[in-house]
Amino acid sequence: MNSSYDVAIIGTGRVGLPLALAFADRGLKVLGVDHDPHILEAVRAGRMPFEEPGALEVLERVSAAGSIAWSDRVADAAAARHVVTTLGTPSFSHIEIDLSQIRSVLDELLPHLQAGQSLTLRSTIAPRTTEFVAGYLAKHRDFVVGQDIFVAHAPERIAAGKFFDEIVSLPCIVGGVGERSGEVVGELFSIFGARIVQTTPVQAELAKIWTNILRYATFALPNLLMMDCEQYDANVFVVFELINRDYPRGGMAQPGFTAGTCLRKDFAFSEERSNAPGMLLAVSRVNESVPLFLVEGMKRRLGSLSGVKVAVLGLAFKSATDDERDSLAHKLVRLLERELADVAIHDPWVVGPTLSLADAVADAAAVVVATNHPEFCTAEALQAIAAGAREDALVVDPWDCWDAGQVFAYAAELTALTALAETV
């Protein structure tokens, strides 16, 4: 086929934009498609619409080389030899994948697709979605998938913030439909040099979902143990040490806020038709309970939070990112507001304005580390808290940012922490 572009990426969000840039940086002619005018306006002006280390330099390079173009029309993607969709796949609250973005793009593409093209689903999807998409093309366009047109799932497993390191190193799973889809899509992604692992579409879907389920459940265990320890008046960090030290068969992860746009919903794609319905919902309930656990712990120590200043450090869903989507820090803030606390927020990463660290902690009765950003886990940050917050302020740190080994540090311990900080 005669194509104007080598590859079109539909959905140039957190996953799609770095991928489009990476393809263009390897000399492919790329079209990035998105219907969000803010994204297109930013990239056309040479700005990244969000933080991704290394992306801005690549954007500048590929824009100057003329190897990338932008469009808001899905139909334009049909001028590419390879089409990769990196659309959002949220879940409905009643446990079902929301395929509306994929369905709508498919319908727009359908009349324009030609024999010889490939369609790769890069989004995280429920088992059998790739087969559904292939069936949809076959039903509406009479293509023999795997011969006339190629459909595969090549799930994105790279963590935001690590794209350019991991695209060249993380094995790329490819689950192709029919005879040649895996081969064609594997060849496209082989440009990055990472190992291509061919499998069936449903195994690729399951591998991606369960990569995230593993992480979600891995963090639910220490989170549950943290809450149990409070019930038994035990120190969770001491118990972790007892579990992990010199034990040769695995170990317990650290507690913290576990959510974000992927972990919070991807388990639902398994839960849709689970053989143990509810098991992963319980995992989700544990992780979702952590903000309330911290608020209740603060109330147990400080009494009513009404009119009490509480500083929240971090709004991003995880360390070293500006991504606030599905962050439990927001849930914490909402819960504190419902206690009528005076909430003061500081996050040096997120785009929206927040207070400076000094202003956020000034005269605070409690300081909660909601995100373990690297800036917070420093002696300087601890000193700023000790200097600015009330003398008897409660420091709440489920991440154990300062190796103090206390989820809730009392006033006396705050001074001890400061002494520790001075020796660091």
For residues 279-307, one letter each, b for 16 or more C-beta atoms within 10 angstroms of the residue's C-beta and e for the rest, the string is: ebeebbebbbbbbebbbebbeeebeebee
CA–CA gap between residue 259 and residue 7 (Å, rounded): 32
Closest distance of CB 203 from ligand NAD, Å: 17
How far CA 286 is from CA of 140, 220, 257, 349, in Å, comes to 44, 6, 10, 27
Residue 34: burial class (beta carbons within 10 Å; 0-12, 13-18, 19+): buried
Count of C-beta atoms within a 10 Å radius of residue 166: 15
- Which residue, 315, 61, 53, is CA-closest to 159? 53
CA–CA gap between residue 23 and residue 30 (Å, rounded): 7
CA–CA gap between residue 403 and residue 169 (Å, rounded): 32
Closest distance of CB 72 from ligand NAD, Å: 7
Closest distance of CB 311 from ligand NAD, Å: 28
Closest distance of CB 265 from ligand NAD, Å: 7
Q: Looking at beta carbons only, is 7 or 160 nearer to ligand NAD?
A: 160
Q: Looking at beta carbons only, is 34 or 397 nearer to ligand NAD?
A: 34
Q: Looking at beta carbons only, is 89 or 284 nearer to ligand NAD?
A: 89
∠ CA 12-16-17, rounded to 5°? 65
Q: Looking at beta carbons only, is 42 or 56 nearer to ligand NAD?
A: 42
Q: Please check whether residue 78 is in contact with residue 5, taking contact to mean a CB–CB distance below 8 angstroms.
A: no
Q: Looking at beta carbons only, is 11 or 182 nearer to ligand NAD?
A: 11
Count of C-beta atoms within a 10 Å radius of residue 390: 17
Footprint of ligand NAD on this chain (CB under 6 A)? 10-16, 33-36, 39, 74, 86-89, 101, 104-105, 123-124, 156, 160, 261-262
Closest distance of CB 121 from ligand NAD, Å: 9
User: Tokens in use for 265?
Assistant: 């919903």
Closest distance of CB 153 from ligand NAD, Å: 11
Q: Looking at beta carbons only, is 157 or 299 nearer to ligand NAD?
A: 157
Q: How many CA atoms lie within 13 A of 45 on its CB side?
A: 9
CB-nearest residue to ligand NAD:
13
Q: Looking at beta carbons only, is 14 or 153 nearer to ligand NAD?
A: 14
Q: Is 286 helix (H, G, I), strand (E, B) or coil?
A: helix
Count of C-beta atoms within a 10 Å radius of residue 131: 18
Q: Looking at beta carbons only, is 105 or 384 nearer to ligand NAD?
A: 105
Q: Looking at beta carbons only, is 262 or 335 nearer to ligand NAD?
A: 262
Q: Looking at beta carbons only, is 166 or 413 nearer to ligand NAD?
A: 166
> Which parts of 279-423 are beta strand (E)?
309-313, 342-346, 366-369, 394-396, 408-409
Read off the DSSP letter of residue 145: B
Read off the DSSP letter of residue 158: P
- Which residue, 60, 74, 64, is CA-closest to 12? 74
Q: Looking at beta carbons only, is 124 or 372 nearer to ligand NAD?
A: 124
Q: Please check whether residue 167 is in contact with residue 143, taking contact to mean a CB–CB distance below 8 angstroms.
A: no
Closest distance of CB 349 from ligand NAD, Å: 15
Closest distance of CB 314 from ligand NAD, Å: 18
